Chain A
Amino acid sequence: MTALTILLVLVLLLVVFGLLFRLQIFTSIFSGTFTRDIGMSNSVNAVLMLVFLIGGGAWFAYSFVENFNKMNPPIASVHGHKMETMFWTTMAVIGVAFVITQALLFIYAYKYQHKEGRRAYFFSHNNTIEVVWTIIPAIVMASLIFAGWKAWTRITGPAPKESVVLEVMGKQFNWLVRYPGRDMKLGVVNYRMIDAVNEFGFDLSDKSALDDFTTNEIHIPKGVPVLIKIRSRDVLHAVYMPHFRVQMYAVPGMPTRFWFTPTISTDEMRAKLGNPKFNYELACNQLCGGSHFAMKATVIVDEPDDYQNWYASQQSFSQKNPDVLAAFKQKAKTMVVPVAAAAEEKEAAPMPLAASN
Chain B
Amino acid sequence: MSDMTPKPNLSPDVQAQGGIGTAPVPATEHGDHLHHDDHEHDHHDQHWLWKYVFSQDHKVIAKQFLITGIFWAILGGTLSSLFRLQLGWPESSLEWLKPFLGGWIQAGKLNPEFYLALVTMHGTIMVFFVLTAGLSGTFSNFLIPLQVGARDMASGFMNMLSYWFFFLSGLIMFSSLFIETGPAAAGWTIYPPLSALPQAIPGSGAGMTLWLVSMVFFIVSQLLGGVNYVTTVINLRTRGMSMSKLPLTIWAFFLTAILGILSFPVLFSAALLLVFDRSFGTSFFLSDIYIAGQALSNQGGSPVLFQHLFWFLGHPEVYIVIMPAMGMVSEVLATNARKPIFGYRAMIGSLIGISLLSFVVWAHHMFVTGMNPFLGSVFMFLTLIIAVPSGVKVFNWLATLWRGNIRFTAAMLFAIGFVSLFISGGLTGIILGNATLDIQMHNTYFVVAHFHLVMGSSAFFGLFCGVYHWFPKMFGRMMDEKLGYIHFWLTFAGVYLVFMPMHYVGIAGFPRRYYAWTGFDAFSQFADMNKFISIAAILAFLGQFIFIFNFFYSIFRGRRATQNPWNSTTLEWTTPVIPGHGNWPGEIPAVYRWPYDYSKPGAETDFIPQNVPYSQTQSSNLPYEQELAD
Residue B531 at the chain A interface, CB threshold 8 Å: yes
Q: Which of A269-294 contact B (CB under 8 A)?
A: 277-279, 281, 283-294
> Is the CB–CB distance between B399 and A124 below 8 Å?
no
> Is the CB–CB distance between B388 and A141 below 8 Å?
yes
Residue A310 at the chain B interface, CB threshold 8 Å: no
> Is the CB–CB distance between A112 and B401 below 8 Å?
yes
Query: In the bound complex, what is the Cα–Cα distance between A324 and B83 (angstroms)?
Result: 45
Contact with A along B502-528 (1 / 0, CB 8 A): 001101110101111101111101101
Residue B404 at the chain A interface, CB threshold 8 Å: yes
Our pick among B409, B440, B557 for the contact of A245 (Cβ within 8 Å) is B440
Query: In the bound complex, what is the Cα–Cα distance between A271 and B62 (angstroms)?
Result: 64
Residue B273 at the chain A interface, CB threshold 8 Å: no
Query: In the bound complex, what is the Cα–Cα distance between A118 and B90 (angstroms)?
Result: 56
Q: Which of B431-471 contact A (CB under 8 A)?
A: 431, 434-437, 439-440, 442-444
Our pick among A34, A71, A137, A291 for the contact of B508 (Cβ within 8 Å) is A71
A8: B residues at CB distance < 8 A:
535-536, 539
> Is the CB–CB distance between B370 and A41 below 8 Å?
no
> Is the CB–CB distance between B289 and A102 below 8 Å?
no
> Is the CB–CB distance between A46 and B368 below 8 Å?
no
Q: Which of B556-599 contact A (CB under 8 A)?
A: 557, 559-562, 565-566, 596, 598-599
Our pick among A73, A91, A234 for the contact of B193 (Cβ within 8 Å) is A234
Residue B13 at the chain A interface, CB threshold 8 Å: no
> Is the CB–CB distance between A83 and B517 below 8 Å?
no
**Closest-CB distance, A152 to chain B (whole angstroms):** 5
Q: Which of A14-48 contact B (CB under 8 A)?
A: 15, 18-19, 22, 26, 29, 31-36, 38, 41-42, 44-46, 48
> Is the CB–CB distance between B423 and A238 below 8 Å?
no
A201: B residues at CB distance < 8 A:
290
Our pick among B368, B423, B516 for the contact of A293 (Cβ within 8 Å) is B516
Given contacts A33-B28, A191-B288, contact A256 B507 (CB under 8 A): no
**Closest-CB distance, B48 to chain A (whole angstroms):** 24
Query: In the bound complex, what is the Cα–Cα distance between A22 and B419 (angstroms)?
Result: 29
Our pick among B113, B287, B431, B600 for the contact of A90 (Cβ within 8 Å) is B431
Contact with A along B386-423 (1 / 0, CB 8 A): 01100110111011011111111100010010011001
Query: In the bound complex, what is the Cα–Cα distance between A104 and B403 (angstroms)?
Result: 12
B542: A residues at CB distance < 8 A:
12
Interface residue tally for chain B (C-beta within 8 Å): 143
> Is the CB–CB distance between B403 and A123 below 8 Å?
yes
Residue picked from B434, B528, B543, B562, most chain A C-beta under 10 Å: B434
> Is the CB–CB distance between A278 and B521 below 8 Å?
yes
Given contacts A109-B416, A120-B337, A121-B403, contact A236 B191 (CB under 8 A): yes
Residue A254 at the chain B interface, CB threshold 8 Å: yes
Choose the segment among A128-136, A216-224, A332-340 that binds chain B (4+ C-beta atoms closer than 8 Å): A128-136
> Is the CB–CB distance between A15 and B440 below 8 Å?
no
> Is the CB–CB distance between B369 and A281 below 8 Å?
no
Our pick among B387, B398, B419, B532 for the contact of A137 (Cβ within 8 Å) is B387
Q: Which of A105-163 contact B (CB under 8 A)?
A: 105-106, 108-109, 112-115, 118-126, 129-130, 133-134, 137-138, 141, 144-145, 148-149, 151-153, 155-157
Choose the segment among A93-101, A204-212, A311-319 that binds chain B (4+ C-beta atoms closer than 8 Å): A93-101
Query: In the bound complex, what is the Cα–Cα distance between A15 and B542 (angstroms)?
Result: 11
Query: In the bound complex, what is the Cα–Cα distance between A155 and B384 (angstroms)?
Result: 20
Residue B116 at the chain A interface, CB threshold 8 Å: yes
Given contacts A124-B340, A235-B200, A289-B201, contact A112 B370 (CB under 8 A): no
Residue B258 at the chain A interface, CB threshold 8 Å: no
> Is the CB–CB distance between B430 and A90 below 8 Å?
yes
> Is the CB–CB distance between A194 and B440 below 8 Å?
no
Shortest Cβ distance from B386 into A: residue: A141
Q: Which of B226-272 contact A (CB under 8 A)?
A: none
> Is the CB–CB distance between B380 and A152 below 8 Å?
yes
Residue B486 at the chain A interface, CB threshold 8 Å: yes
Residue B376 at the chain A interface, CB threshold 8 Å: yes
Given contacts A83-B439, A281-B520, contact A98 B424 (CB under 8 A): yes
> Is the CB–CB distance between A114 and B339 below 8 Å?
no
> Is the CB–CB distance between B562 and A34 below 8 Å?
yes
> Is the CB–CB distance between A235 and B197 below 8 Å?
yes
> Is the CB–CB distance between A94 and B428 below 8 Å?
yes
B49: A residues at CB distance < 8 A:
none
A42: B residues at CB distance < 8 A:
406-408
> Is the CB–CB distance between B340 and A123 below 8 Å?
yes
Shortest Cβ distance from B528 into A: residue: A1
Query: In the bound complex, what is the Cα–Cα distance between A124 and B599 (angstroms)?
Result: 11
Shortest Cβ distance from A257 into B: residue: B370
> Is the CB–CB distance between B504 and A71 below 8 Å?
yes
> Is the CB–CB distance between B439 and A246 below 8 Å?
yes
Choose the segment among B144-152, B319-327, B474-482 that binds chain A (4+ C-beta atoms closer than 8 Å): B474-482
Given contacts A45-B408, A249-B369, contact A291 B112 (CB under 8 A): yes
Residue B210 at the chain A interface, CB threshold 8 Å: no
Residue B529 at the chain A interface, CB threshold 8 Å: yes
Known: A42-B408, A151-B436, A293-B515. 5 other contacts (CB 8 A): A120-B339, A137-B388, A254-B304, A277-B521, A293-B519
Which residues from chain A sit less than 8 Å from chain B, CB to CB? 1, 4-5, 8, 11-12, 15, 18-19, 22, 26, 29, 31-36, 38, 41-42, 44-46, 48-49, 52, 56, 60, 63-64, 67, 70-73, 83, 86-87, 90-91, 93-94, 97-98, 101-102, 104-106, 108-109, 112-115, 118-126, 129-130, 133-134, 137-138, 141, 144-145, 148-149, 151-153, 155-157, 171-172, 191-192, 194, 196, 201, 230, 233-236, 238, 240, 242-243, 245-249, 251-254, 256, 277-279, 281, 283-294, 296
> 15 pairs across A/B with beta carbons < 8 Å?
A32-B560, A34-B561, A44-B485, A45-B485, A70-B526, A108-B404, A112-B401, A133-B395, A137-B391, A201-B290, A252-B287, A254-B287, A281-B520, A283-B520, A287-B191
Ranked 10 nearest A-B pairs via Cβ: A253-B287, A242-B509, A256-B370, A156-B373, A45-B408, A121-B403, A120-B599, A148-B434, A94-B427, A290-B113
